[in-house]
Amino acid sequence: MPYIEISGERYFYLDSGPAGAPRQVLFLHGSGGTAGHWSNQLALAGPGQRVLAVDLPGHGRSGGHPVDRIAGYREFVRLFAASLSLPSLYLGGHSMGGAVVLDYALNYPGETAGLILIGTGARLRVAPAILDAFGAGRTPAELVDLLYGPGTAPLLRDKALREMETVDPRTWYVDFSACNAFDIMAELPRITAGTLVLVGSEDRLTPPKYARYLEEHMRRATVVTVEGAGHMVMVEEPGAVNGALASFLAAD
């Protein structure tokens, strides 16, 4: 599995498809997540398309430290993309990762060929009880019920809970603090890149109204709703998500 060194720290990423492919797609995970949440999307790689996913600083197998502002992750992503010379970059993100994508598009509008926003919004307020729990060093078990839809298989939910418990509560706290401070609702009309917005119909953290707001206030955004899925839509329903992604990337 590949690592890259940036500013003296090693960062882990997943990589599928030829390095010289004309289309490069980079996925960013959400709060407390890892690149592994995109393992099903690596299947989208092919002769003309490369698919990557990175462990953000302080997550998974990456070095560095999590940061409490979306702008900090945005600047890391820019350095990562430059270090791998990713041309014609399609940038995708889930939840907090989607906030990073939006912030990137606002600050570096000429550096993205298209945007993919999954389970995210222009403002990401976090319930005080969740922040307080992580701030006290506790991972609330009820979070798994917010992340996954009611029809999720028990084995997948159990695996998700085990993964959540391996993440330092301080990482969750920093990530959710970054989300809580994020608000670009008034700036959405400035984003001109073609955008796919994906949301699970049963998403309780970033419900479908968040996706509709993005579609209504961005110039070139289209919403696709995945029925029955919750917040972790790309893990819960990879077939439906990959179908929507393939159509978007082929048409854009």
Confidence label for 140 from pLDDT (cuts 50, 70 and 90): confident
Q: Residue 211: which residues within 8 A CB-CB, separation 6 or more?
A: 117, 121, 197, 198, 199, 223, 225
Per cent of the chain over pLDDT 90 is: 87
**How much is the mean pLDDT over the chain?**
95
> Partners of 198 in the beta sheet?
118, 224
Confidence label for 1 from pLDDT (cuts 50, 70 and 90): low
Per cent of the chain over pLDDT 70 is: 99
Count: domains in the chain: 1
Q: What pLDDT is stored for residue 252 in this prediction?
A: 61
Confidence label for 142 from pLDDT (cuts 50, 70 and 90): confident
The strand pair at 9-16 and 3-6 is best described as antiparallel
Q: What pLDDT is stored for residue 164 in this prediction?
A: 87
- On the question of pLDDT at 161 being above 90, the answer is no
The CA distances from residue 190 to 96, 195, 213, in Å, are 20, 13, 14
Predicted confidence (pLDDT) per residue in 17-49, tens digit: 999 899 999 999 999 999 999 999 999 999 999
Q: Using the structure block, give the residue that is written with the tokens 């350095």.
A: 79
- What is the extent of the structural domain holding 191? 3-251
Distance CA 150, CA 121 (A): 22
Confidence label for 4 from pLDDT (cuts 50, 70 and 90): very high
Angle in degrees, 0-180, between the axes of helices 169-180 and 70-83, rounded to the nearest 10:
100
Q: Taking Cα atoms as reference points, which of 230, 238, 244 lies closest to residue 151?
A: 230
Q: How is residue 164 annotated by DSSP?
A: H
Q: What pLDDT is stored for residue 88 in this prediction?
A: 75
The CA distances from residue 136 to 30, 74, 149, 172, in Å, are 21, 27, 27, 11
CA geometry: angle 236, 21, 53, nearest 5 deg: 35
Predicted confidence (pLDDT) per residue in 122-139, tens digit: 999 999 999 999 999 998
Distance CA 141, CA 157 (A): 11
Q: Could you tell me if 197 and 223 are in contact, meaning their C-beta atoms sit under 8 angstroms apart? A: yes
Task: Locate 209 and state its tokens.
Answer: 């109204």
- On the question of pLDDT at 92 being above 90, the answer is yes
CATH of the domain at 11: 3.40.50.1820
Predicted structure pTM score: 0.97
> Partners of 50 in the beta sheet?
24
